[in-house]
Amino acid sequence: MSDQEVGKGSPKSSSLSPYEEAMEALSSLITRRTRADASNVGDQFDLLFDYLKMLDLEDPIANMKVIHVAGTKGKGSTCTFTESILRNCGFRTGLFTSPHLIDIRERFRLDGKEICEEKFLAYFWWCYDRLKEKTDENIPMPTYFRFLALLGFKIFAAEQVDVAILEVGLGGKYDATNVVRAPVVCGITSLGYDHMEILGNTLGEIAGEKAGIFKNGIPAFTVPQPDEAMHVLEEKASQLNVSLQVVTPLDAQLLNGLRLGLEGEHQYVNAALAISLCFTWLKRTGHVGDIYLEQTDKLPEQFIKGLTSASLQGRAQIVPDQHLKGERSNRLVFFLDGAHSPESMEVCARWFSLAIKEYNPDQTLFHQQLDNSKFSHEVVKTHNGERVSQGKSTPILLFNCLTVRDPQLLLPHLMKTCADNGVYFKKALFVPSLSVFNKVGPQAFTLSDPKVDLSWQFNLQRVWENLMQSSKGKNTDIVSEELKDDMETSASNCEHSAVFPSLPLAIKWLRDRVQQNQSLRLQVLVTGSLHLVGDVLNLVKK
């Protein structure tokens, strides 16, 4: 990008760093409005095409070789597998996903890595300044997510990626990514009940919104769906002359003894969808001769490498607390998964139940696992192939969810599935979110805010305590004495749970427990919200 093209940024002088200044500008675009309709001029979908003209992005998008993916569950995983496969096939990839966990730049990946700060700032101000100059009362500045999507298009066009993989933010029909008129191929991942306040109250209505990414004559793939959803997808596909194919889960034997880079049985469905998207993209872009595709009984080497090396933060990820020294970090381990729907809660609970039984880190091996979303069977091997007990492990739940979610649906699924697998939480910790809706960028990690409203967390605690009361007698284990003591930092301590006024206080309490008791090993499941997962990662990773 030339000097003339680079945006100047905000003219005001301040003590903020250039990156913080960009985050301030980005935060100014956040509104509480979430539905794209005609009720507010700034939310009209057609405005997106005005923004594309202002940014000279019409032709670049028309020439972009796009893979477009919508769905309720598995969008991020499918896009991650897809990007990893095509990158290992030798293509320059651009990946646009949401949300981010720690840094906004996670949403824009070039060749598998988040965009560097220097490039991000250059493209950010180029887009922001131009839109500020050209928008007015009739065409106001785009809202937060729309701006990010436009920025993604600018980055991928300027960086001349071979393929742009776009994850829909919300729904499909009115999503900002849906300005792409002619993607190469589309995918719909598993559908379920989520964002019902926006997308509709039935699976059919939700499927109709997702199918809004179908384009006339463009092939599409989906996974097995409930009948109500599948009927709507097939009907929409038929209306648009779309060849819609349903993929079956990947046969694990095709991986030649290796494991998928993303953990969980459900990932075999997402992997199969990614394979179909990649095969079709290669064929339709004229690259079919580059990769040997025709053998159905085996996968190309590049596909296997892409599937087994893919990684995604916050989904089935295991991170020992890196702020505890030496062996203590092995005694406080966080199992992170951003599940936030009833179905994904069950998947998360099954993964956690298996993971805590397999995860027994050998000091010489665990460092290899820190940033990998998968845990290896190698980790459980110790001297002479025998397991070595390092003290009894204690499962802890660290939970928060958005107020639009129903904890009466989420928490019972989580508790029952864990119990069915012989896992019982000794304590559940409920905390408010550190991330705030109207600000992007690093939050101030204060231990406690006296003004914080904990009414939602108390509600979550009541649901949990009632569930524990109704399941009494099924779990013979009693709450550890070590977890009953020293709860003065909590806002509310019950027999099976506690509410903390901040996440840092809850983390401090966990750290204090393992530092004061050498035999205690805490395995903490962090779930219910990707925002919570991101905040925890920020606090426990160096």
CATH classification at residue 188: 3.40.1190.10
186/297: higher pLDDT: 186
Residues 110, 194 within the same domain? yes
Q: Helix, strand or coil for residue 497?
A: strand
> What does the pLDDT look like over 305-341, one tens digit per residue?
999 999 999 989 999 998 887 767 689 999 999 998 8
> Does residue 464 sit within a domain?
yes
Residue pair 335/263 in contact by the 8 Å Cβ criterion: no
Q: Is 17 annotated as a binding residue?
A: no
pLDDT band, very low/low/confident/very high, at 447 (cuts 50, 70, 90): low
Domain that holds residue 451: 317-363+390-470+486-541
User: Which residue among 265, 288, 309 closes a domain?
Assistant: 309
Residues 502 and 356 in one domain: yes
CATH assignment at residue 438: 3.90.190.20
Instruction: Indicate the pairing of strand 163-167 with strand 66-70.
Output: parallel
- End position of a domain, from candidates 309, 327, 352: 309
Are residues 296 and 325 located together in one domain of the fold?
no
Together in a domain, 251 and 325: no
Instruction: Check if the beta carbon of residue 212 is closer than 8 Å to that of residue 170.
Output: no
Give the range with max mean pLDDT: 42-51, 123-132, 533-542: 123-132
Per residue in 2-55, pLDDT (tens digit) is: 444 444 454 445 688 999 999 999 999 988 654 444 444 457 899 999 999 999
> pLDDT averaged over the chain?
85
- Amino acid letter, 347: V
Domain assignment present for residue 10? The answer is no
Same domain, 187 and 331: no
Q: Do residue 148 and residue 278 come from a single domain?
A: yes
pLDDT at residue 442 in the model: 62
With a cut of 50, say whether residue 480 has pLDDT above it: yes
Looking at 270, 293, 309, which one is the last position of a domain?
309
Q: Read out DSSP for 277-296? A: HHHHHHHHTT-TTTS----T
User: Are 112 and 246 part of one and the same domain?
Assistant: yes
Please write the tens of the pLDDT for every residue from 336-372: 999 988 888 999 999 999 999 887 654 333 333 333 4
User: What does the alpha-carbon distance between residue 280 and residue 479 come to, in Å, rounded to a whole number?
Assistant: 54
* Residue 195 known to bind ligand: yes
More confident of the two residues 509 and 376: 509
Indicate if 452 and 515 belong to the same structural domain: yes
Residue 227 has pLDDT above 60, yes or no: yes
- Using one digit for the tens of pLDDT, what is the confidence trace for 141-177? 999 999 999 999 999 999 999 999 999 998 899 999 9
Residue 50 marked in a binding site: no
- The annotation status of 496 as a binding-site residue, yes or no, is no
CA distance from start to end of the chain: 33
Instruction: Assess if residue 14 is contained within a domain.
Output: no
Domain count, the chain: 2
The pLDDT tens digits of the residues spanning 494-512 come to: 989 999 999 999 999 999 9
What percentage of the chain reaches a pLDDT higher than 90? 67
350 is an annotated ligand-binding site residue: no
- What pLDDT sits at residue 200? 53
The pLDDT of residue 373 is above 90: no
Do both 249 and 213 map to the same domain? yes
Residue 465 contacts residue 395 (beta carbons within 8 Å):
no
Residues 166, 247, single domain; the answer is yes
Mean pLDDT throughout 125-144?
96
Please report whether residue 275 resides in a domain. yes
Residues 292, 329 share a domain:
no
Do residues 334 and 251 both lie within one domain? no
Compute CA distances 65 → 97, 255, 281, 397, whole Å. Answer: 17, 27, 8, 43
433 in a domain, yes or no?
yes
Whether 16 is covered by a domain: the verdict is no
